[in-house]
Structure 1
Amino acid sequence: MADWYGLAAVDVVNLFRSNYTRGLTDEEVIQNRNLYGSNKVVSTKNKKLILNMVKEIINPWFVFLIFCSVIFLYLGKFNYFFITLTLNIIALVISILPHYRNYKIIKNIEKINLSKVNVLRSGKLININSEDLVVGDIVIFSKGSTIPGDIRIIECSDLKVNEVSVTGDESIIEKFSSKIYTEVLEMSEMGNMLFKSSIVQSGEGQGIVVAVGDRTEFGKIMTSTLNYDKNRNFLINKVKSGMNYISIFSFVIWVILMFFMNSNGKTLNESLYKTSFLLFSGAPINILILLYSIFRVIKTYFKSKHIELKFLSIIENLSRVNVIVTDKEEALTKSKMFVRKFYDNEAIINFDSKFIINANIKRILEIGFLCNDCTSNKNLNKTLNAAEKAIVEFVETGDVDLEIAKRVFEIPYNGNKRIKTTINKMKKRYRANVKGSVDVILKNCTHYMVDGVERELTKEAINNIKMADMKMSNECLYVMAFAYRNFTYRPSDDENIESNLVFVGLIGFESILKENTLKAVEKCYVNSIRPVVFTEDGKLGAIASGKRMNIVRDSSEVLSGVEMDNMSTEEIINNVEKVKVYSRASEENKKSVIKNLKDLGYNVLNSGSKLTELPALNEGDLFISYGENSNKIVKKLSDIDFEKNDMGIITNMIINSRKLIISLKNLVNYIFIWNFNFIVLLLLFYINDLDLKFNISEILWVLFFNVIINGIAIFLNYKKVITQYDFNLEEEVWDISLFSVAINGVIPAVIILASSAFSSINIHVFVFWAIIFEQIIYGLFDKFEKNISFFILIFLNLVFQLVIALSNLGTYMFGIDKLSMYDMRIIGIVVVVQAAVIFMKKIFTE
């Protein structure tokens, strides 16, 4: 962004030809809107989502099923019409839901433009819609105001702002109007700037708008996120493609049969009635309904585990994942740290039974206690928060006598600078208490403390500090440095407070691995999943912890953010497949890593909780949001929401999703085969002038109840599925071909046609039950697994259908006669032949 913070407010006002007292004229508003754009975060994705919803309506399966409904309406079969139309609408809603959900998310985010704002226009203070704001407008804001654009503060009084939506920092930031002389600043350090979507917590002020809409910092984040398109619906698209092919085939057969029947003297109404079921069975909407039902069950199960899945296609995307990008903290280690060692500028001191608090250690603890926000949940940085809690617990349990002082203001923790500072009123003076990264704090120190006495910082002292840092880091400790600076006056916000510091010492914190970490890492490698870990540890600590977690073997597999910043793009690409742990890398570094991994053909899952992480998160194939403090927008845009980030849970989800997706493929294959079978069956019987007088209840029983029950049984085999080491979704899973569906659908139809000649009862009754029992036998023998759930469900369905077929229940339910024992034996021969065909197929295909 432009360095507006480095200009005096009056210069910014003059630059945009505005005016303190009158603001812009109506003519200047129009000019500036044309010149600098409107105040809308525009998403091109919404147009695509609406277009996708329209496309769902013109799918052949939907169109032909509507046509089928119209036929039933024309024939006066109103109950058939309502059943067909209802099922079609249900399937359409299921199909449109993912697009609609994305549409709603984007519309909700765009609501930020609906707020009101007070501006000066032509010398009058007026209240306008946020989206009508233009660059150069003079804005008046007060407590509770949502900042409508990026604003350079002109004047303010006691102004404090929450700008977590832009900077990711939940701290309440104190703002001012004076010019900042530092050349390069992070956004969180721009104390004289306000950013779009920030909220005024207290105070009031006046400022000039310097950026609106997509050009604001918030707009840049959201535009790249909302317009980022991912092909996430391979499974559903494949299913719909198959549905369309079968629908088109059934329509062609319908046209042929209509011509055939009319040429053989059948009336139009008779022909329409007989062939209408071709169109109905040719739109296998039972697949969509069953897939959605299964997803709801899976979603409910995960919700009980405090995990929210957004779409069925996410299971598919999880199955593709072969790289997990995550932070070490929380995902692999517990969110709790413990104080283990101190360095007091003389020696490393273990916290044990012989531990004594000297002057330096007391000052370290004092700085750590005063410069601390662990109880307020303001720190979104997990490592910093855990370290602060460890200091507070150490002080409270050790009953350490510290000088407690009121906080005057703070300079929040900055992710790139990695230090945090508070200004506290200490009796007759003020003191800056500073903690953070060892190398950053050392650069800002001129003195160091030894046994309570300040001395000039020497090269020897610096080397000793670095050696202590190195030694503790090699022991897998997270090392934090502590320093201070005394003031005889109250320092101002825009002073360079974090300079001329006195170095006090170090604390080494121990983070504990989760119980399942080593097992999770092992599972990753066994299942060809590559863990890529980002950590707040320095490089030495990252190497040590990487070895401890069995992720890295040597230092060549660890890269620091500083090293990345000094590498060329080509060097980063050459290293990305080798590096497994990144130390103190920025969000931009992480985004680059994920993008390069994707360019190399990897499917990446990553996790985050802050809005500022969205550009990096969206580079992956899918992402997880997690934690109570996760940003609301991040939660809405995420694919999965976790209560807590956990590598073990993520790894298990990927492995189970591979099993689920293979089982879903088997289920889809089964349903396609039997929908196609029904079309072929009707075709064969009608061409041979054999009358099949099915009613809607019989069709629903065959294609919905029986097929779905058997499909569920097949799906329950997922626990027995073994996924190969080198898992590839497209090559290994989606091997469904139209030829395979056709062959497996035609053979049972031919068997039934041939056996119907021996039937002693109404032919359509015989065909009805023959289809039912063929579907059961096919499901049993073609997909047989030593899985008790699968076997029990198939067996129960078989017994249930036999009871109906051999009793008067069939008459009650469908208005058909019960099967005789003779016909039952004929059907027995049919299913034996069907089983033999299955076994022959397995012999020649395996």
Structure 2
Amino acid sequence: MTEWYNLSWNEVVEQLNSDANKGLTEEKVEKLQNSYGKNIIEIPKGNNILYIMLLQFKNFWLLYMLLIIGIYFYIGQVNEAISLFGILMLNIIVISFGESEREKEIKELQRLQSSQAMVVRNGATVKIAAEDLVVGDIIILNDGDIVPADIRLIEGDNIKVKEGAVTGEGYTVEKYSTKIEDKELPLTEVRNILFKSSAIIEGSGKGIVIATGTGTEIANIIGLVVENNEEGNMINKKLHSILNSFTVISIIISAFMAFIQLYILKGDIVDGFFSFAWAPIAFIPFSIFILIEIISYFIIKDFNKKGTVIKNLSVVENLSKINMICEDKVGVFSENYAHVKSVYVDDNLIGVEDLNLMELNEEFNTLNRVIHIGMLCNDTKFTNGEYINPKNDITEIGLAKFVRENNIHSLQLEGIENRVLTIPFDKDRRLMSTINRVDNNYRANVRGTVDSLLNRCTHLMKNGVEKEIAEEDIRKIKYADIQMSRMGLYVVGFGYRNYNYEPSINENLESNLVFAGLIGFYNPPLNEISNLIKKGRELNIHPIIFTEENKLTAESFGKKIGILNRVTRVLSAVEMDNMPEEDLNKIIGRMSIFSKLESKHKTKIGKHYKEIGQNLMMSGKRITDLPYLRISKVGMALDGTNIVNKLSDVLVKERTYESLLNIIISSRKIVNSLINIITYSFLCSLTAVIVNIASKLLGLGYVLNFYNILWINVITTIISSIGIALNYKNEEEYNTESIGKNIFNGIILKSIFKAVFIAAVVLGSLYLNEKISFLILNLCLIILSITFNKKHTSKSKLCYIFNAVVQLIYFIILTKPNI
């Protein structure tokens, strides 16, 4: 793409062997399509719900349960078989709908593809399917169209587009056909190319296709998204693995009981099958997926109340493993505002408390000019008592607030001296410019980083008079910049250029500027941020800060909050770009702050940390942020575009370092709670198995029948597990153990002891009454669930009480005499 915007449209048409008036011939089109294929970005269509349901039967435990259902049919227990089949199907439906939601995410990308295009072929204008476009096609574009390929403009009539899907910027951009001389422009500044998936908001024009399908810019972004969309719902996979392990043990138990029935007790084949079939029902907690879905509902609802939207429990587990938070400084580590702290004008560095504010209302004054530029080159509006800035630029808001609070007349300049043109800020130029009408003339007002501004200045204003800038002047300006940066200030430079005519966008407006001065803005750290960083480190969570400030300002802030020490440092994007990959890999792990990054730098940082085993949390809101969001263990959307929201793991509207820590801590507690629930399910199953084996060996028959076991598995276990889940806030916050990892290693011995104890109590109660013993078994299992926590919330207590009441009601129903 980069070679096309540096060429005139005539040269582009010539190089692509096309004709601006007649377009391509059908022969050329066919040849190009055979060589390069269709104008299609291949996006997986995803599986439908029925296919996903069928896929579940590849799991060993499900196939085994189908075998057990078949055995129940064979031995004539049809009702039992139907009941078991119904519960299994409910599990499968729950699993499949969760999986299908993930499949829908990728379908969001299909919306970026247009369906039709108006092209010139063989001298005639025809409408064709967008997928039939080829490089070299001459295309006609109109208001409301979705751009179907990457297109170099040939001519345009006031074309304005929104290209946020590619560039990540949400504002409207004006496009033109003029050749661009600058090299290596960011996509935001490539104004003579229309990118596939952009929307034409206004105007019309004609262009030539320079890239189709996988060769387009949007295809690069989509490729990264699809590449990183394979992880799926890991909780379900782990639960399948756990149930498979339970199944193996169950087969051993079933075989043992069948052997006893057939060869020790000399039973018939039906008795043998029955002995083989009951053990899986008792031992395999097959209702676990229903249980997890219920718990998921409560947990996700709880997160939503706190302003955090998560997809599923797999995201919660990933959040629990986070040990590195990579976030922007402003709003997360520092306040979401900045105020004017000092200014540099006329060779003087002046603190705001020493400013003579009366001078700001004088007509010919350097300080007045700096404020003048700052307010004209500013998108802040004061509406209904609030400062509104579409970019949330805290320096623009800070200056507007300073002007209003000090009753400086410049506040009204935007209304008096109309803005006629805007060149938005981007991270490559690091400048923002506006053209404003001043009296009967025009002025370019420019603000940006000091180095970027000075490189474009040929003069400076001193004591209200313009003069040619000298090396000594530049040295003093840079020294002032360093002084303010060391004070922890974000320094913004201001310059201007006068015109006696209305300049156009095609001119190099940001050249031959007059330097006016500097303003230093102070962005204070959040309260208690140092203590929060210490708390995070105790939890093995380390912060990485991304900032737009220069290295000196970043270092000052880092030392103030305690994130920098003798080992950790600050690294800038420029240093990253000019450093050999080997050197970067050696030092990047020692960095705590990164300065002036673009999305590509964040992606590189994310890849490095992922390769060395770190689990990152990162946030973004633009499509250009998706590559690093998908690399992260947890990608967090900041209320961005619909596609970004759908493809991210978490959606938050506001965040601070404290709120992020709380999300991770809550997730760790939830994971601990889930591990307890799995352990508890294992205990309930093991207890039921021991009761039945012991009663059979004691000659009492199988005390627990099919429906008794089903009651324990579906009612007692689920309600008690919900009680454990509702009590997650009282769990340990430091543990980062994975769900399902070595689940049997730590629990078997103590589980067997507890299960044997409960079984002994139940078997002892058989001498009273078999139905009483079943009630005692369920009450013991409820008491067992309570022991998983020392403290209990009111909701969990109500859950346990409700479970006990249900057991008593069921006991009364069982013991009620038949009338």
2:621 corresponding residue in structure 1: 609
Tell whether 2:815 aligns with 1:811.
yes
Change (3 A) 1:395 1:82: farther
Tell whether 2:715 aligns with 1:705.
yes
| In 2: Cα distance, 1:136 partner to 1:682 partner | 78
| In 2: Cα distance, 1:552 partner to 1:50 partner | 54
**Aligned residue type for 1:28:** K
Farther off after superposition, 233-242 or 579-588: 233-242
2:513 corresponding residue in structure 1: 501
Task: Tell me the number of residue pairs that the alignment of Structure 1 and Structure 2 aligns.
Answer: 805
Farther off after superposition, 439-448 or 598-607: 598-607
1:785 corresponding residue in structure 2: 790
The alpha-carbon deviation at position 320 of structure 1 amounts to 0.8
Pick from 367, 372, 379: which aligns with 1:366?
372
1:401 corresponding residue in structure 2: 409
Q: Report if the CA contact (8 A) 2:618-2:636 is conserved.
A: yes
| In 1: Cα distance, 2:692 partner to 2:237 partner | 28
After TM superposition, list the pairs within 5 Å mapping 1:145-184 onto structure 2: 145-184=145-184
TM-score (structure 1 length as normaliser): 0.87
**Aligned residue type for 2:319:** L
2:298 corresponding residue in structure 1: 297
| In 2: Cα distance, 1:301 partner to 1:268 partner | 52
1:800 corresponding residue in structure 2: 805
Q: Report if the CA contact (8 A) 1:345-1:461 is conserved.
A: no
**Aligned residue type for 2:297:** R
Change (3 A) 1:572 1:816: farther
Q: Report if the CA contact (8 A) 1:673-1:742 is conserved.
A: no
Pick from 766, 782, 791: which aligns with 1:759?
766
Q: Report if the CA contact (8 A) 2:47-2:103 is conserved.
A: no
Pick from 654, 657, 663: which aligns with 1:647?
657
Farther off after superposition, 791-800 or 206-215: 791-800
**Aligned residue type for 1:800:** V
Tell whether 2:228 aligns with 1:228.
yes
1:337 corresponding residue in structure 2: 338
| In 2: Cα distance, 1:370 partner to 1:210 partner | 38
Change (3 A) 1:227 1:44: farther
**Cα shift readout 1:169-221 (whole Å, capped 9, x = no counterpart):** 22211111121122221111111101111111110011111112222111101
2:448 corresponding residue in structure 1: 436
**Aligned residue type for 1:796:** I
Tell whether 2:755 aligns with 1:748.
yes
**Aligned residue type for 1:419:** L
Change (3 A) 1:722 1:282: closer
The alpha-carbon deviation at position 397 of structure 1 amounts to 4.0
Backbone CA RMSD of aligned residues: 3.4
2:744 corresponding residue in structure 1: 737
**Aligned residue type for 1:748:** A
**Aligned residue type for 2:732:** I
**Aligned residue type for 2:341:** R
The alpha-carbon deviation at position 521 of structure 1 amounts to 1.8
Change (3 A) 1:712 1:413: same
| In 1: Cα distance, 2:228 partner to 2:388 partner | 30
Q: Report if the CA contact (8 A) 1:151-1:194 is conserved.
A: yes
Farther off after superposition, 512-521 or 265-274: 265-274
The alpha-carbon deviation at position 372 of structure 1 amounts to 2.3
Change (3 A) 1:535 1:774: same
Structure 2, unaligned stretches of length 5 or more? none
**Aligned residue type for 1:491:** P
| In 2: Cα distance, 1:184 partner to 1:798 partner | 67
Change (3 A) 1:487 1:745: same
| In 1: Cα distance, 2:150 partner to 2:638 partner | 29
Farther off after superposition, 783-792 or 551-560: 783-792
**Cα shift readout 1:199-257 (whole Å, capped 9, x = no counterpart):** 11110011111112222111101111221156575544332211112234435655665
1:130 corresponding residue in structure 2: 130
Pick from 409, 416, 421: which aligns with 2:428?
416
**Cα shift readout 1:741-769 (whole Å, capped 9, x = no counterpart):** 48735873697479748834665x36533
**Aligned residue type for 1:157:** D
Change (3 A) 1:555 1:453: farther
After TM superposition, list the pairs within 5 Å mapping 1:552-571 onto structure 2: 552-553=564-565, 557-571=569-583
| In 2: Cα distance, 1:78 partner to 1:370 partner | 82
SS of the aligned residue for 1:601 comes to coil
The alpha-carbon deviation at position 162 of structure 1 amounts to 1.2
**Aligned residue type for 1:602:** Q
The alpha-carbon deviation at position 734 of structure 1 amounts to 3.5
Q: Report if the CA contact (8 A) 1:160-1:172 is conserved.
A: yes
Farther off after superposition, 281-290 or 5-14: 281-290
| In 1: Cα distance, 2:207 partner to 2:377 partner | 31
1:213 corresponding residue in structure 2: 213
Change (3 A) 1:733 1:471: farther
Farther off after superposition, 538-547 or 746-755: 746-755
Instruction: State, as a whole percentage, how many aligned pairs show the same letter.
Output: 31
**Aligned residue type for 2:790:** E
Change (3 A) 1:307 1:429: same
Farther off after superposition, 613-622 or 123-132: 123-132
The alpha-carbon deviation at position 496 of structure 1 amounts to 2.1
Tell whether 2:637 aligns with 1:632.
no
1:514 corresponding residue in structure 2: 526
**Cα shift readout 1:328-387 (whole Å, capped 9, x = no counterpart):** 0122223222223222233123334743315222222222222223359998755xx222
**Aligned residue type for 1:298:** I
After TM superposition, list the pairs within 5 Å mapping 1:587-736 onto structure 2: 587-627=599-639, 630-683=640-693, 685=695, 690-692=700-702, 697-716=707-726, 718-724=728-734, 728-730=736-738, 734-736=741-743
